């Protein structure tokens, strides 16, 4: 079985998309698409924390969940964050390519951009994992 590095993103995505509060909002593993939507992306802040002689690496990685909307997105993102906090145990590797070392840490949702039609709200998800890639 391949050790696909997007396995963590896919697992996180699969948990978030089961949140009942976002059932009618499109979500994808990328920046939000046109119209009201959600997107989850990997942040470029990955850090290696340690590596053992067997090749297992402990690292810190981050993701950002962005909500594109015309209304205030903070209340909805708080509901998603609460749902995610209650379902951390469901973030798991389907191919055993990573193990969560601690519960993910979530930032407070905030507005981080706007254009003529939409506002962009987001929160970050920081995770510490052990992996062999």
In contact, 122 and 37? CB cutoff 8 Å: no
Q: What is the pLDDT of residue 3?
A: 43
Q: What is the pLDDT of residues 67-123, one digit of tens each?
A: 999 999 999 999 999 999 999 988 877 777 888 898 999 999 999 999 999 999 999
If you write DSSP's letter for every residue of the chain in order, what string do you get? ----TTHHHHHHHHHHTT-GGGTTS-EESSS--SSSEEEEEE-S--EEEEE-TTS-EEEEEEEEEEEEESS--HHHHHHHHHHHHHTGGG---SSS-EEESSPPEEPPPEEEEE-SS-EEEEEEEEEEEEE--
């Amino acid at each position: 079985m391949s050790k696909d590095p997007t396995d963590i993103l896919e697992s996180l995505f699969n948990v978030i998309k089961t949140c009942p509060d976002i059932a009618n909002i499109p979500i994808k593993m990328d920046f939000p698409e046109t119209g009201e939507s959600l997107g989850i992306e990997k942040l470029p802040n990955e850090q290696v924390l340690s590596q053992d002689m067997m090749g297992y690496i402990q690292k810190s990685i981050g993701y950002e969940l962005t909500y594109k909307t015309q209304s205030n997105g903070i209340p909805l993102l708080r509901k998603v964050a609460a749902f995610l906090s209650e379902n951390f145990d469901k973030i798991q590797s389907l191919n055993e390519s990573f193990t969560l070392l601690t519960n993910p840490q979530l930032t407070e949702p905030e507005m981080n951009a706007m254009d003529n039609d939409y506002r962009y709200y987001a929160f970050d998800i920081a995770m510490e994992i052990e992996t062999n890639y």
